[in-house]
Structures are given as structure tokens and as C-alpha cells.
């Protein structure tokens, strides 16, 4: 795995050119009701001319991020919605699942000569279209073909600075000031600027994303918004099963707790609820005792959900949260985990 990251680092270190782009995102007009979240937006790029100092900074930034992963011996792991807490580099190849953002990789960047150059700094910022920035590094492969590596960093409003005097200072929540060496005074910032963080969220090379900042990546490509839509579909499936009382409380929990979105998406992938029967419910009752919780059933054998504790425990049980180590027999609690179909009979 280290060899893969080292190969990417070598490509970045040997890059013969670097381009910088702003990624713009704008909601599509005349959206069809219930359209998938990942298809709600149009993405476009603007090339930004930068000086050699910034180019050097950008290239060194990408090198340091990859070198950190190598030095820390971070494991390369296929992307999962819910994963273990330790630092990892996740890989993601399903471009068909990131909707409109895939066009940035597949259609816009390969035609870099058609990408317009930014002319007006303020116009883009004032319309709130800035979504991220992209660093493009070009290198030659062993056959001397020109190849490209792309890195992305999601931007937020705190990264953008506009001239306060031209931005209705009456409603500003804060101002940006700079210290003038000419007057030795703190003065109102003049002009517009962008703060470039000393990190990148992901690297794209040879058809694969290498994710360094998981949460930011999910927001960048639209997965975080789509989790909410998928979670809603899971709740509706559970409702149609007619084996739960109080399923609306799960919907309410989603609105106040975004972490619930991922748990429900995880449940959708596992599909454990599809096999919910008397035997499985008995196993759930046993597992619940791990936390001294009593799974409640009505006279018809339906699972009762009456409060937020019930919501939490029922989702845990359906997700097989409670696990036992095969080697030590120790009990663990985690939503993550990889299923080994051939490990059911280890004897």
C-alpha cells in the first residue's frame, strides 16, 4: 500500500506544470421534484493565474500531505460510510455515484484548454458560487505521455474575504483588517482574497480518489447531502414493513442529528432489517442486554420506539453494532466492520 502512495508522491514531485482552478457550484434551474441530490447542481471551473511562489507552495503542500500518509503508515482502505476512528487514507472509485461532480473529473478538466480564465474576482465571490479549489499537476509517464493528478479542497465562507466597504457593512458580522506598514495603523482590508488552507481533502489519480479528509470529501462531492435522502428512504422501508411502532421518532431524530444519516445509510447497505423475524428479534433482545437495555414489544410482536434512547438502540441492534472478537472473545461496539462471508464456519 505504501508503494501506491510513494508512486503518487513521485508523480507530484516530478510534475512539470501546475494549474489552479476554482470549482463553482450552482443549483440547476427548473428542478424536477424529488430529483436525486447529487444531480441538483451544475459544476464549472475557472482557471486562475498564479505566480511562481504560490505554485511552489501548492506543490509542496500536496507533497507534504502524501508524505505524511507514508510516514504515518496510514492504511489504504476502500471507502465506507461509517469507518473506524483511526486515521486512514480511503479510496473511492465510484464516479457514477457522485452525480454532477463526476463531470468535473471526466469532462471539464480533460478539456482544460476550454476552461475560461478568471477575470473578475469580486463577481464570483459576491454570488456565492465558489465551492472548492483544484490543483492540477501534470507529469509524463514511462511512455512520455502527458498525465494529470488532481487535488481538491472544499472552501467555506470563512475562506473568502471581500472588500467590506463594497459589501453592505451594515449587515456584516465581522470585518477584516490589515496592518499597514506605511501608516503603522490597523486599516480596513481593501480588495478581495481567498485563504488557502495548508491541506487537501483528496487526490485523484488514475481513476481513483485517495481521500485524506473524509468528511470534507463527502461534502465536496455531494455525498453528505445525499445521505439525508438515502436515510429517508430507509425510514420509509422500515415503515412499510409494519414491524415497528413509533417509526416517526426515527424521522425526527434524523432532522436533529446528522450522524443518524450515516447510520441509516449503513443499515441500508447491510439490509439486516429485510430478515427481521421472531428469531432475529430474540437475538436483538439478548444483544440489548449488553447495555442493560430492554427491547420493548407490543402484543403483536412489533418493536416499540418511544424515545430517543429507543431510536439509538434499535438502529444499533439492526446494524449489528454489538460484535465479538473471534480470537479473544472480547465484546465490542461499532457500526463499522467488513463482512467475511466465508468466515461463518471457521472450524
Tens digits of residue pLDDT in 294-309: 999 999 999 999 999 9
The pLDDT of residue 149 is: 97
Specify the 3-state DSSP secondary structure of 211: strand
What is the chain's length? 347
In DSSP terms, 26 is beta-bridged to 42
Report d(CA 113, CA 53) in Å as an integer.
23
- pTM listed for this prediction: 0.82
Number of neighbouring beta carbons within 10 Å of residue 42? 13
Res 332 pLDDT > 90: no
- pLDDT tens figures, 174-227: 566 767 778 877 877 666 677 888 899 999 999 999 999 999 999 999 888 888
Number of neighbouring beta carbons within 10 Å of residue 342? 6
C-alpha cell at 81: 460510510
Least confident segment among 14-18, 172-176, 240-244, 265-269? 172-176
* pLDDT grade for 256, boundaries at 50, 70 and 90: confident
* pLDDT grade for 311, boundaries at 50, 70 and 90: very high
The pLDDT of residue 172 is: 45
Report d(CA 105, CA 43) in Å as an integer.
11
The pLDDT of residue 296 is: 95
The pLDDT of residue 11 is: 95
* pLDDT grade for 147, boundaries at 50, 70 and 90: very high
Res 234 pLDDT > 90: yes
Domain spans of the chain, in order of start: 2-221, 226-343
* pLDDT grade for 164, boundaries at 50, 70 and 90: low
Report d(CA 136, CA 19) in Å as an integer.
5
Cell 462531492 sits on residue: 221
Report d(CA 138, CA 150) in Å as an integer.
9
Res 335 pLDDT > 90: no
Report d(CA 246, CA 167) in Å as an integer.
49
At 94, which helix (H) or strand (E)? none
In 242-307, which residue ranges form alpha helices assigned H by DSSP? 248-256, 259-270, 278-288
Tell me which of 57 and 225 has the higher pLDDT. Answer: 57
* pLDDT grade for 320, boundaries at 50, 70 and 90: very high
- Average pLDDT of 24-33? 76
Cα–Cα separations (whole angstroms), residue 226 to 33, 38, 138, 229, 265? 15, 6, 32, 5, 10
Res 36 pLDDT > 70: no
Least confident segment among 21-35, 74-88, 152-166, 196-210? 152-166
Percent of the chain surpassing pLDDT 90: 58
Amino acid at each position: 500500500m505504501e508503494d501506491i502512495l510513494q508512486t503518487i508522491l513521485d508523480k507530484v514531485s516530478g510534475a512539470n506544470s501546475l494549474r489552479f482552478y476554482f470549482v463553482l457550484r450552482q443549483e440547476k434551474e427548473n428542478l424536477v421534484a424529488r430529483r436525486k441530490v447529487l444531480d441538483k447542481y451544475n459544476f464549472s471551473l475557472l482557471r486562475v493565474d498564479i505566480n511562481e511562489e504560490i505554485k511552489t507552495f501548492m506543490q509542496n503542500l500536496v507533497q507534504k500531505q502524501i508524505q505524511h500518509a507514508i510516514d504515518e503508515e496510514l492504511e489504504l482502505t476502500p471507502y465506507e460510510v461509517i469507518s473506524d476512528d483511526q486515521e486512514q487514507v480511503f479510496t473511492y472509485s465510484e464516479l457514477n455515484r457522485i452525480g454532477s461532480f463526476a463531470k468535473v473529473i471526466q469532462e471539464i478538466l480533460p478539456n482544460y484548454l476550454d476552461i475560461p480564465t478568471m477575470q473578475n474576482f469580486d463577481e464570483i465571490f459576491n454570488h456565492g458560487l465558489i465551492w472548492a479549489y483544484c490543483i492540477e499537476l501534470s507529469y509524463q509517464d514511462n511512455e512520455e505521455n502527458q498525465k494529470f493528478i488532481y487535488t481538491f479542497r472544499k472552501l467555506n465562507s470563512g475562506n473568502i474575504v471581500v472588500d467590506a466597504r463594497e459589501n453592505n457593512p451594515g449587515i456584516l458580522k465581522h470585518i477584516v483588517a490589515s496592518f499597514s506598514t506605511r501608516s503603522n495603523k490597523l486599516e480596513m482590508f481593501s480588495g478581495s482574497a481567498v485563504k488557502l488552507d495548508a491541506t487537501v481533502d483528496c487526490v485523484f489519480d488514475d481513476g481513483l480518489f485517495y481521500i485524506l479528509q473524509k468528511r470534507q470529501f463527502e461534502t465536496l462531492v455531494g455525498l453528505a447531502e445525499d445521505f439525508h435522502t438515502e436515510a429517508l428512504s430507509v425510514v420509509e422501508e422500515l415503515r412499510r414493513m409494519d414491524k415497528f411502532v413509533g417509526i416517526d421518532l426515527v424521522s425526527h431524530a434524523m432532522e436533529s442529528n446528522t450522524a443518524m444519516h450515516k447510520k441509516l445509510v449503513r443499515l441500508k447497505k447491510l439490509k439486516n432489517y429485510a430478515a427481521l423475524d421472531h428469531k432475529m428479534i430474540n437475538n436483538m433482545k439478548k444483544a440489548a442486554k449488553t447495555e442493560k437495555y430492554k427491547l420493548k414489544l407490543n402484543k403483536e410482536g412489533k418493536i416499540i420506539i418511544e424515545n430517543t434512547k429507543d431510536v439509538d438502540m434499535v438502529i444499533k441492534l439492526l446494524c449489528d453494532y454489538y460484535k465479538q472478537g473471534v480470537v479473544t472473545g472480547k465484546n465490542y461496539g461499532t457500526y463499522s466492520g467488513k463482512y467475511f462471508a466465508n468466515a461463518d464456519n471457521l472450524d
